Amino acid sequence: MTHTNVLLLAVALVAVLAAGYAVACWANPFTRCWRCRGDGQLQGAARVLQLSLERRCHRCRGTGRARRLGRTAWENWRAIGRAADAAAATGASDAERRV
């Protein structure tokens, strides 16, 4: 195998993995919270430090589910696009938008 073939294979593999992750973010935008492991309550040392008080996880707000990183990036990208479209629809120039 030449270096070009190896590079093309690597690029194709990355593209397939990225497409698979994009489909996963579309089909299931939430995943198990890594902080509380999907329980909704503090785990391990964090729970001991709270002196056994029942305290919900601040990252997922006690639901046990957190948004995937790819879904968050997609929604932020769409919000930026919508803001740019709204600014263009009002006819504001670049100089007016900065002020």
- Burial category of 56 from C-beta neighbours within 10 Å (exposed 0-12, middle 13-18, buried 19 and up): middle
For residue range 68-93, what is the model confidence (pLDDT) as tens digits?
Answer: 888 888 899 999 999 988 888 887 55
- Burial category of 73 from C-beta neighbours within 10 Å (exposed 0-12, middle 13-18, buried 19 and up): exposed
Q: Can you give the pTM of this predicted structure?
A: 0.57
* Residue 64 backbone class (left: φ over 0; alpha: ψ -120 to 50; beta: rest): left
Give the C-alpha separation, 41 to 65, whole Å: 12
For residue range 18-27, what is the model confidence (pLDDT) as tens digits?
Answer: 999 999 888 9
For residue range 3-16, what is the model confidence (pLDDT) as tens digits?
Answer: 889 999 999 999 99
Amino acid, single-letter form, for residue 67: R
Instruction: Provide the CB-side half-sphere exposure for 67 (13 A, CA).
Output: 9
